[in-house]
Amino acid sequence: MTPLNPRRANRRGSPSSRKSVKDIHLSIEKQNRLNRIAKLKTKLGKQKLAVRFLSSFGPDLDAIDAFKKGQDYEGYVGKGKNRRLKFQVTDGGKTLKLLGHTIARKTVKGLEVSNAGFDTGLTYSSLKELGVNAKRLPNGQVQLHNTTVNGTSGRKITVPFNEVSDTPIRAKKTQKRNDTRRTVTEQSNFRERVQGKTKPGELPLSTSSIQPKDQKQINSITGVKSKIPKPSRATDAHHIFSVESNPKLRNNPNNGVMLTRGQHREVENLNRGLLRKSKLKIATFKTRFNVTEGMIQLAKNQSADSIMNAFGHYRMEHPHSLGSGVYDPIEDRILDARIPLDAIRLQKLFEAGTNKIGFNSITDTRQSPCEDVELIRSQLKEIEQAGGIPALGFDEGSLEALDVMVDSSDDEILTILRDSQRSTGILDADLTFRIVDSPKFRRN
């Protein structure tokens, strides 16, 4: 008899007849599936396939159950030539093996556990399923129950049966602390406080991008008529110090800087370690000039007079925004070494390469802050005449003449520091900014 085609059968006959034909085919498929399973069991005999895994790399729960019940078990993985014995319970259910390594054994004194020198996450997750705490520790150590052993020693630890957990030991999922989360309203309020709008309804210009005014100044210096860019607005407020480490600075506008969305994403990636702090990766953050490298004016080309003259124009436009940092006469802005993008600009400005930068002040501010512009000008000329690199610095609004030193060691930077200076700022090659105390400081 020719078998019915289910598709043709569904197109003719009464609804009841179509349904009966469909049921016949389903029953045949079910029987064929049962026959295949029966043949597989006959072929494997007492062997079993490992199917109850927490994940494709997790422990075999069938093996764990067999060990607890005192039954032999063999759990295979893979097919054909790749088929291998992964979990095995032997000796009448007394020994549990993983890839041939004995990781648990029942004894008179208790449950004897070990990683057998097989230092893997699968070993420890299997022991946790048995009810024994097992995990890696720093410096190559491993915790088995209440004992710390070397991860490569294969040392055996006996855990009394009354101290073995009846349920598997599984790590709880970590939950984010609510105190570090901010609502959309909080983020919006923080951005508005940080951005300091100069005009109602207008976002501030990004201080980390080349603006039309900056490009015009570069063109005038280099003589290259590069294209004048469009104004780049800063849309994202970035925390200088993370709110996780400094929760009190979460809503402090002084802990924020306005960046473009792309720059903000780059800085966040750097903070999370997604980008290595190397010269190659840091290059992606460099300010993009439209002129060749040799045409860019650097700090060594700036005289004391050119620095102070440029600062005079800057102060007229920004009378109340000095703060702390180093004045960049080329980009006409103050650089804060604690901000990654500014730190990169400082490395470029002073041609630091892989060396440290020491911002050594020669201005004596022990009695009071300095506001004398001409005094700073004369001190910068003094640095210039001595062959140093002059720079204008600020410390909480106080003017300071900086004798910038680029070197590979802190000691060399501190040697030229005067005894009137309590400390100096050092910017490392990896963009870490530190305040280092001076061993030569005198209070009077």
Nearest partner of 327 among 299, 301, 295, judged by Cα = 299
- Sort strands 398-407 and 389-395 into parallel, antiparallel or unpaired: antiparallel
| Residue partners of 184: CB distance under 8 A and separation at least 6 | none
d(CA 251, CA 189): 9
326 neighbors 365 (Cβ within 8 angstroms): no
Token digits for 220?
């005038």
- Could you give the 3-state DSSP secondary structure of residue 343? helix
d(CA 357, CA 92): 70
Domain ranges of the chain: 6-44, 48-163, 204-288, 297-444
Q: Exposure of 222 by Cβ count < 10 A (0-12 exposed, 13-18 middle, 19+ buried)? A: middle
Q: Which long-range contacts (CB under 8 A, 24 or more apart) does 66-70 make?
A: 66/93, 67/93, 67/96, 67/104, 67/130, 68/130, 69/93, 70/94
Nearest partner of 416 among 442, 388, 444, judged by Cα = 388
- Residue 333 confidence (pLDDT): 84
270 neighbors 338 (Cβ within 8 angstroms): no
d(CA 391, CA 255): 25
Q: Where are the alpha helices (DSSP H) in 78-183?
A: 121-130
Token digits for 372?
């004398």
pTM: 0.37
- Could you give the 3-state DSSP secondary structure of residue 5? coil
Token digits for 182?
């901010």
Q: Where are the alpha helices (DSSP H) in 151-255?
A: 184-195, 212-222
Q: Exposure of 96 by Cβ count < 10 A (0-12 exposed, 13-18 middle, 19+ buried)? A: buried
- Residue 358 confidence (pLDDT): 92
d(CA 278, CA 430): 7
Cα atoms in the 13 Å half-sphere on the side-chain side of 339: 23
d(CA 111, CA 164): 8
User: Distance of CA 45 to CAs 73, 80, 297, Å?
Assistant: 12, 17, 82
442 neighbors 420 (Cβ within 8 angstroms): yes
First vs last C-alpha separation in the chain: 115
Token digits for 122?
């699968």
d(CA 46, CA 235): 68
- Could you give the 3-state DSSP secondary structure of residue 262? helix
Token digits for 415?
């040697």
Sign of CA dihedral 290, 295, 299, 302: negative
d(CA 234, CA 212): 15
- Sort strands 73-77 and 48-49 into parallel, antiparallel or unpaired: parallel
Tens digits of pLDDT across the chain (444 residues): 455 555 554 455 555 555 677 778 788 888 888 887 777 666 555 444 444 544 445 788 888 888 888 889 988 887 777 888 888 899 888 999 988 889 999 998 889 999 887 788 888 888 888 888 888 888 788 888 888 888 888 888 898 988 888 888 876 655 555 445 566 667 777 777 776 644 555 677 776 778 888 888 888 887 788 888 888 877 777 777 777 777 777 777 777 777 777 777 777 766 655 444 443 333 433 333 333 333 334 566 678 888 888 888 777 777 666 678 898 888 888 888 888 888 888 888 888 888 899 999 999 888 888 888 899 999 999 988 888 889 999 887 788 999 999 888 888 888 888 888 888 999 998 888 898 888 888 877
- Could you give the 3-state DSSP secondary structure of residue 43? helix
| Residue partners of 23: CB distance under 8 A and separation at least 6 | none
Q: Which long-range contacts (CB under 8 A, 24 or more apart) does 221-229 make?
A: 221/295, 221/297, 221/330, 222/291, 222/295, 222/296, 222/297, 224/290, 224/291, 224/295, 226/290, 226/291, 227/290
- Residue 254 confidence (pLDDT): 72
324 neighbors 435 (Cβ within 8 angstroms): no
- Could you give the 3-state DSSP secondary structure of residue 15? helix
d(CA 102, CA 118): 9
d(CA 95, CA 111): 10
